[in-house]
Chain A
Amino acid sequence: MRPEPVEAQATPAFDEPLVSIRDLRTYYTIRGSFLDRLVGREAGIVRAVDGISLDIRRGEVLGLVGESGSGKTTLGRALLGLVPATSGTIELEGREVTGLSERQRRVLRRRVQVVFQDPHASLNPAMTIGEAVAHPLRIHGLERNREQLRRRVVDVLDRCGLAPGADFLDRYPSDLSGGQKQRAVIARAIILNPALLVADEPVSMLDMSVRARVLELMLSLKRDFELTYLYITHDLATARLVCDRIAIMYLGRIVEIGPADAIYADPKHPYTQALLRAIPEPDPTRAVPRDLPRGEVPDAALPPLGCPFHPRCPHAFEPCGWESRDLRELLESRWTRLAGDPLVEQEQALVGDLGVLARPTPEVRLPAPRGRQAEEIVALLDRIRAEAPDEPFWRGVERLTAEGSHVRLDFHMPKEPLLEREGKADVACHLYTEPS
């Protein structure tokens, strides 16, 4: 079990959070081949959201930041009831959201609305802007008087910068620019007067010159309508301008969460630091070669042992979860560096098939290929170590020996880092945990 967020324990009842998520998990099963599907066999499970607890306070903008595959969009969808929770709870205004029927969810949707990334795909091209924005009121049967309905739509269009609203009622999405379409989508989302707006990359498809205006609109609507936002994005630069708090996600977990000021001034988790470093700086006098983590977000169906970020982390050390696949990565990146050198083929022949390293385990038994000695492989690994002794991988190795026809490689036991308070933020990283 993960510890509850500190603020949840301290919050008195009269200031209860708008949304309270506890140990939420959303898993997707992946089916393999046609045959697998025929016999109902599952090829694996993707842990899109893997044990998340967080609160969204009334009136705040919570930024949910991560790369693709981090689970940020799935978490947003779970809040909307669009994907089922595998386990855990989501409470909105004290009511449980998971496991609702379609009819019950409809009531929920009056309280939670969404703005998606692509405004061009969010509006029905055959519906006028007036029809589209009025649609939620019709669906929920909240306004039957046609004149009243029209007035409310015009008001909300005006408020969202599509003014005069009356001029937009009969236009079609194709008559509008990208920014105007996103304004119409926002108008449609707030016409029900929701408590929470989930905004999933609301400006990343808009042109630079209009992004700021849509962000400004969102901030002013938040003030006027007492909205709360879950702002989902990969872009820490826009998040800085709108968010009160930031949660950084990686492979289905929160690795760091805290006040925005603290996250930007003093990022704790090496992944947060890398995300900040990776943003291209629009200043050629400061563009220096950046030190970026290697590789990409790994497959969520078979995440790394221990800390999911350890294979890419420059600071990883003993407890971070070293395992078989890290050895494979070490050899492959060496051979990539030496590509074209005949040495690569010699070494490949010596080590043999790396397929045996595909299964994640902290104890590796690597068989020497026929006609080769395990000692030769150990000697090669020792040579690699001597060439780059500072490589974090070697911190994880507890013992490396030849045992008969096998190479035996034991890593330190993997430990999962838990979210713990560090300064003003909570961070899940062994760099900050006391050695036990």
Chain B
Amino acid sequence: MTTEPVLQLRNLRVYYGTSGRPVRAVDDVSLEIGESEVVGLVGESGCGKSTLGRGILGLLPEGARAAGEVNYLGRNLLSLPPKAVRRLRGPELGLVFQEPMTRLNPLLRISAHFRETLRLHEPQLTKEQARRRSLETLGRMGIPPTRFHQYPHEFSGGMRQRIMIALALVLRPKLLVADEPTTSLDVIVEGQILALLADLKRNFGTALLLITHNLGIVAEACDRMAVMYAGKIVEEGTVRGVFAEPAHPYTRELLRSTISLDTTELHSIPGAPPNLVDPPSGCRFHPRCPNAMRVCVDQVPIEQRLADGRRVQCWLHGPSQRVPAGGEAPLEQPVGVADEA
């Protein structure tokens, strides 16, 4: 990235719950998103990807604590007062959730949703300007102007998600965080929405963090990707690079277990994702890893940068001088059938 990143996470940690046994949902994560860039954040349920998205926007539930840096255009949001972060949410940082049904006010017409949003954040616009901007944004998302005055219940699920995206984009934010935006939608509608999201940079110049569990969506819509496992980003790089040659065994196994139309053989990863109260020692993936070595059991991997600029946290990629003698010996794993998921 030649220009300054829109968003830069540095050593971000988010813990939930009591000080005794906190859930370490996001644990020392660093990530950058450049201007107009589409970055996919992939991982399985409970890996902390949604918490990461909420942490960026300052929308963590009560009882959660965040540490580290969330730098938005050079300002650390974690050190700003909540009021200042709230002012950024909307005009600067947009958000699209998974369930479009629950995010629109059923008592307000679509036009009222847009009027409210624009009046709050861009009070200088005249009524006519606000209306025109709303209709234009809705149009690009495929919502007919004839339906501007209807209520949320009069729209289908896919239409509601388009409206939600339009509602975020009408303020022209620099960054949009979309958390599983297509998960509750049908496959054809999902494809339509992905096409809209992939066009964001051309149409709106917005950077996008797309949080998903679906690697097909990442391949389709993203420039770069970060793979999250048990609270950590274990690999990050260009989508083409990672798919062509995954560096982390988890990425590789996840790609192999993804079922697509070309899948001829079923493949899965032994065991199940760990809980984050008491994650495995060393590398958190080691109990499920087919390449695990002795060093992986008690030494936390050190992030390495590969030749193509990729970042990876795995002892297979070194640094070898930090591996204790005999640490490279393969780990004998008792695959307990009881851990079978």
Contacts and interface: CB of A to CB of B under 8 A. Distances in A.
A278 interface: yes
A104 interface: no
Given A279-B260, A335-B144, A178 B139 contact: no
Interface string B144-172: 11110000000011110000000000000
Given A162-B340, A234-B186, A282-B216, A332 B44 contact: no
Given A180-B340, A240-B261, A284 B219 contact: yes
B259 interface: yes
B226 to A, nearest CB: 15
Given A279-B216, A335-B144, A209 B268 contact: yes
A237 interface: yes
Interface in A309-368: 332-333, 335-340, 344, 348, 354
B253 A161 contact: no
B187 interface: yes
B259 A238 contact: yes
A278 B266 contact: no
Interface in A76-130: none
B99 interface: no
Interface residues of B, number: 60
A17 to B, nearest CB: 28
A280 interface: yes
Contacts of A348: 145-146
A280 B189 CA distance: 12
Contact of A281 (B144, B220, B337): B220
A5 B144 CA distance: 42
Contacts of B337: 161, 163-164
B152 to A, nearest CB: 15
Choose among B146, B194, B240, B259 the residue with the greatest number of A CB atoms under 10 Å from its CB. Answer: B259
A125 B223 CA distance: 42
Interface string A207-218: 111111101100
A285 interface: yes
B316 interface: no
Given A67-B186, A208-B215, A237-B261, A336 B341 contact: no
Interface in A168-201: 168, 177-180, 183
Contacts of A333: 144
B215 to A, nearest CB: 5
Nearest to A158: B337
Choose among A168, A215, A281 the residue with the greatest number of B CB atoms under 10 Å from its CB. Answer: A281
A70 to B, nearest CB: 9
B247 to A, nearest CB: 16
A207 B213 contact: yes
B273 interface: yes
A246 to B, nearest CB: 13
B258 A208 contact: yes
Across the A-B interface, give the 8 residue pairs with the lowest CB-CB distance, nearest first: A339-B139, A280-B216, A179-B341, A340-B136, A332-B144, A212-B266, A177-B272, A212-B268
18 contacts: A68-B186, A162-B338, A177-B273, A179-B340, A208-B254, A209-B269, A212-B259, A213-B266, A215-B266, A238-B259, A277-B191, A280-B217, A282-B255, A292-B188, A296-B158, A296-B159, A296-B188, A297-B156
Given A178-B45, A292-B192, 18 more contacts: A177-B273, A178-B272, A180-B341, A212-B266, A241-B266, A264-B261, A280-B216, A281-B261, A282-B243, A285-B240, A285-B243, A296-B186, A332-B147, A335-B144, A336-B138, A339-B135, A339-B138, A340-B135
Interface of B: 44-45, 132, 135-136, 138-140, 142-147, 156-159, 186-192, 194-195, 213-221, 239-240, 243-244, 253-255, 257-263, 266-269, 272-273, 337-338, 340-341
